[in-house]
Amino acid sequence: MQGLDLRIHAGERVLLLGPSGSGKSTLLHALAGVLGGDDEGEHHGRLLLDGRQPADARGRAGLVLQDPDSQVILARVGDDVAFGCENLGIPREEIWQRVRDAVDAVGLDLPLSHPTSRLSGGQKQRMALAGAIAMRPGLLLLDEPTANLDPRGVAEVRAAVARVLDRTGATLVVVEHRVDVWLDLVDRVVVLGADGRLLADGPPSVVLDERRESLAAAGVWVPGVPLDVPDATDAAAPGAGPAISTEALAIGRPRGAVLHAGLDLAVPEASSSVLTGPNGAGKSTLALTLGGLLAPRAGRVVAAAPLARGIGGAPVRWRSRDLLTRIGTVFQEPEHQFVATTVRDEVAVAPRALGLAPGEVDARVDEVLHRLRLDHLAGANPFTLSGGEARRLTVGAVLATRPSAVILDEPTFGQDRLGWIELVRLLHELVGEGTTLLSVTHDAAFIASLGAHRIRLDAHTSADSRTATGRGRA
């Protein structure tokens, strides 16, 4: 990122937009003074917060990072939210007052002693926000704070941020691909281009109205610009039988509680289905179970004959290699999935495991990288990708073996407009070629385009997490 001149005034509310990989997260880190010192890279020019170096003014800025998993600091919810206040030297009684306020404000309905190791992705995001709010920062920096949330959670977090801003008059810089969420709340929009330069800057109405076409072309989600993707009816195979179905299925994590029991559902062949439900409902758990990765706690998962191709109907008993061409699973958490040290190798792993000829492996890898706009990153380490890039890579790595069925856990999470359109078109093409698709998602636009069949998982009622998900529709 170079040559960026930006002046943000106290009390301003800025929405920072830009395509995936344009450096939005990097800029927020710089603003929060946590980019790392001189020994970690080069920086030129000046960045001042209240006239001071950001690193010297830590605590004035509250930052919520893009990755909710890596900002859980302590083992209990209350301690974690209190952590920032402790560092600022706030007196004890006031800390607990602030912690309770912050937890209420974000709607994290859990006891303060709840272990942080037992939170769903959405709950972690709320907790991180509570931790930042509790510091009562003058500048609130949010990096995709609603990316993992269910629609209800999005509204709640947005309301929480609005309340905090109204009460404290804090300055806000929020990064989010989905513009509509924050549009009423912000009074300024700043757009970065793919090269990290400033593309547009001004009041939302002006920027988004006058530059809609050019911004949309650059990958920015501009509300009202049609997405130009097929709609859901195109993703349905007429009269399709089930590719995967369940019989009285009970799901749960190993050693965890049973989340749902008696599930009878079907994923139709050669069509696209979506699985929705509130945070913590057990969607990921169900997806892993359907994908033959987690064992059912009771009941059965049945793969239809055309999918199983003669190796038995229970995916969880298949060998790892047999899964590759039958059911491919994209995990919610990209980091768990990476097994290689370069993007290229990452995509090549599965085709090689299939025993394809080297030439064929190369051809497939090239095709996937190209389709997902990752060619320029072929030599990069997967872990250094931006959030959106990492997501595309995990999808690509699974598609490289052309499985008959693909299960995707939040595939559009963190995607810019171009990446999103590209991905959705690709998925439509797959369905057109006869692939069975099941996507876990909270994304309304995605559902409109690929939700030919909809499966809804309601909040589960096991005692342990009832409080956790109590706000979901029962």
Partner 1 sequence: MSAIDVADATPAPTLRFVDRVNPASRLAAAMVLTTPLLVTVDWVSAAIALAIQLVLFALAGVTPGLLVRRTWPILIAAPLAGISMLLYGRPSGTVYGEFWLARVTDGSIQLAIAVTLRVLAIGLPAALLFLRVDPTDLADGLAQVWRLPARFVLGALAATRLVGLFVEDWRAMALARRARGIGDHGAVRRAATMAFALLVLAIRRGSKLATAMEARGFGADTPRTWARPSTVGVPDALLVLIAAAVAAAAIVGAVWAGTYHPVWA
Partner 2 sequence: MHETSTDHTPTAGTNGARETAGSRSTRWRVVDIVVASVIGVATGLVFLFWNNVGYAWFSAADALTPGLGGIAVGIWLIGGVLGGLIIRKPGAALYVELLAAIVSALVGNQWGIETIYSGLAQGLGAELVFLATGYRRFGVVTAMLAGAAAGAAAWVLELFLSGNLQKSAEFLALYFGTVVVSGAVLAGLLGWIVVRALAATGALSRFGAGRDVAGRV
Q: By the criterion CB under 6 A, which residues form the site for ligand ATP?
A: 18, 20-26, 66, 118-122, 148, 253, 256, 259, 277, 279-285, 332, 384-389, 414, 465, 468
Contact residue for partner 1 among 358, 383, 456, 466 (CB under 8 A): 383
* Structure tokens belonging to residue 29: 């880190």
55 touches which of ligand ATP, partner 2, Mg ion, none (CB within 5 to 8 A by kind)? Answer: partner 2
User: Any idea of the CA torsion for 151, 136, 164, 83, to the nearest 10 degrees?
Assistant: 30
90 part of the interface to partner 1, by CB under 8 A:
yes
- Binding flags for Mg ion, 330-359, as an x/- string (CB under 5 A): --x---------------------------
Binding range to partner 1, per CB under 8 A, among 224-232, 289-297, 410-418, 434-442: 289-297
Q: Shortest distance, CB of residue 418 to ligand ATP, whole angstroms?
A: 11
Is the CB of 300 or the CB of 383 nearer to partner 2?
Answer: 383
- Tokens 């797959």 label which residue? 430
Is the CB of 126 or the CB of 428 nearer to Mg ion?
Answer: 126
66 part of the interface to Mg ion, by CB under 5 A:
yes
Please give the residue whose beta carbon sits closest to ligand ATP in the complex: 388
**DSSP state string for 142-172:** EESTTTT--HHHHHHHHHHHHHHHHHH--EE
Q: Which of 325, 242, 244 is nearest to 290 (CA)?
A: 244
Rounded alpha-carbon distances, angstroms, from residue 110 to 123, 153, 260, 467:
9, 15, 21, 6
Asked if 404 and 328 count as a contact pair (C-beta separation under 8 A), the reply is no
50: left (phi over 0), alpha (psi -120 to 50) or beta: left
Q: Shortest distance, CB of residue 190 to partner 2, whole angstroms?
A: 17
Size of the site for partner 1 (CB under 8 A): 70
- Binding flags for partner 1, 95-134, as an x/- string (CB under 8 A): xx--x---------------xxxx---------x--xx--
Q: What element of type H or E holds 395?
A: helix 387-399
Q: Shortest distance, CB of residue 423 to partner 2, whole angstroms?
A: 25
How far from the centroid of its chain's Cα atoms is residue 33's Cα?
25
Enumerate residues 177-196 that contact partner 1 by CB under 8 A: none
The order of strands in the sheet holding 188-192 is: 61-64, 139-143, 171-175, 13-17, 188-192, 198-202
* DSSP single-letter state for residue 26: H
Q: Shortest distance, CB of residue 87 to partner 2, whole angstroms?
A: 11
Asked if 266 and 301 count as a contact pair (C-beta separation under 8 A), the reply is no
133 touches which of Mg ion, ligand ATP, partner 1, none (CB within 5 to 8 A by kind)? Answer: none
Q: Shortest distance, CB of residue 397 to Mg ion, whole angstroms?
A: 19
Alpha-helical segments (H) within 270-342 = 283-290, 305-308, 320-326, 334-337
272 part of the interface to Mg ion, by CB under 5 A:
no
Asked if 30 and 188 count as a contact pair (C-beta separation under 8 A), the reply is no
Q: Shortest distance, CB of residue 21 to partner 2, whole angstroms?
A: 11
Asked if 442 and 150 count as a contact pair (C-beta separation under 8 A), the reply is yes
Rounded alpha-carbon distances, angstroms, from residue 320 to 304, 359, 473:
18, 23, 37
279 part of the interface to Mg ion, by CB under 5 A:
no
Q: Shortest distance, CB of residue 233 to partner 1, whole angstroms?
A: 31
Instruction: Give the separation between CA 414 and CA 392, rounded to whole angstroms.
Output: 10
62 part of the interface to partner 1, by CB under 8 A:
yes
Contact residue for Mg ion among 14, 16, 21, 25 (CB under 5 A): 25
Show the beta-strand stretches assigned E in 321-450: 327-330, 405-409, 436-440
Contact residue for Mg ion among 284, 289, 412, 439 (CB under 5 A): 284
- Name the site residues for partner 1 (rule: CB under 8 A): 29, 32-34, 58-59, 61-63, 65, 67, 69-76, 78-79, 82-92, 95-96, 99, 115-118, 128, 131-132, 135, 254-255, 288, 291, 293-294, 319-321, 323-324, 328-329, 331, 333, 335-337, 339, 349-350, 353-354, 383, 397-398, 401
- Name the site residues for Mg ion (rule: CB under 5 A): 25, 66, 284, 332, 387
